[in-house]
Amino acid sequence: MTISSHSPSSETCYYLPHHGVLKEESLTTKLRVVFNGSTPTTSGYSLNQLQMVGPTIQPNLFNILIRFRQHPYAIAADIEKMYRQVLVEPSQRPLQRILWRSNPDDPIQVYNLNTVTYGTASASFLAIRSLMQLGIDCKASHPDISSIIREDFYVDDLLTGAKDLAQAQRIQRICLQLSEILSAGCFAGNSANGSLTMLKYLRIYLLLICILAYSQCFSANGSLTMLKYLRIYLLLICILAYLKLVLMNLPGLLV
């Protein structure tokens, strides 16, 4: 945000009411600022009443989820503070004006918010339209990334995947390029959580189960009881599952 250099009488402006919401249990953002663009002015109208909401330009959430569930290998990520990455046309920023001071002893200052503000009617469309334009701009140079941006995002959440391991590894590399392209468009992405990483932990988990089952099966005890037969059966299943992962030739899992 920047300090406003104009008086309210010299231009059309709107003062956004705002307050903080404190969530001490939150691991990410403990204090969030909430802006209310629906508060009416002396004219009887609010900013949100005069704004166009914009059409839906992303795929339907149901379609994204159904397609996502078909992927044996899944990759998920999100854009960090998506709305705050999109600049507003300077001539429109007086419509996002706030009163603020950093210290109770300081005089109240008038600021214009420079980026898309959550709480205004057009915020969602403006942010999503900017993201979609990024996908359109990179279509010629990076068609795979363009397809992911245009088809696998729901607002700021990415849900994509692959039908086999080779494609999953390729998409994982694409996601690294995707992060660079998003950053070029001022969209900071949080790291993706993929099935390839999960398989690393799955191998370790299965190995630990094998060790635990082995120690329980052949501990100093009496005859082979039904419970012990069950433990041996589970041990064999875990060993087979572990060997299957090892024999799948997954070089990415050893990195």
Tens digit of pLDDT for each residue in 32-79?
888 999 999 888 899 999 999 989 998 888 888 888 888 887 788 888
Amino acid 229: pLDDT: 62
Q: Which of 104, 94, 91, 101 is nearest to 4 (CA)?
A: 94
Please say whether the beta carbons of 151 and 159 come within 8 A.
no
Which of 158-168 are b and which e, b meaning 16 or more Cβ less than 10 Å from the residue's Cβ? bbbbbeebeeb
Continuous H helices in 58-141: 61-69, 123-137
Amino acid 32: pLDDT: 84
Amino acid 255: pLDDT: 36
1-34 pLDDT per residue, tens: 888 876 666 678 899 999 888 888 777 677 888 8
pLDDT surpassing 80 at residue 97? yes
Amino acid 196: pLDDT: 42
Per-residue tokens: 224: 């082979």
Does the predicted TM-score (pTM) go above 0.85? no
Average pLDDT over every residue of 176-202: 57
pLDDT surpassing 60 at residue 88? yes
Please say whether the beta carbons of 4 and 97 come within 8 A.
yes
Per-residue tokens: 101: 């001071």
Please say whether the beta carbons of 134 and 182 come within 8 A.
yes
Provide the CATH number for the domain formed by 2-186 in this structure: 3.30.70
234-253 pLDDT per residue, tens: 667 766 666 665 555 444 44
151-184 pLDDT per residue, tens: 988 988 888 887 777 777 777 777 777 777 777 6
Q: Which of 69, 115, 68 is nearest to 89 (CA)?
A: 115
Q: Which of 76, 101, 93 is nearest to 192 (CA)?
A: 76
112-157 pLDDT per residue, tens: 999 999 999 999 999 999 889 888 888 888 888 888 889 988 988 8
Please say whether the beta carbons of 67 and 141 come within 8 A.
no
The distance of Cα 200 from the centroid of its chain, to the nearest Å, equals 22
Amino acid 49: pLDDT: 93
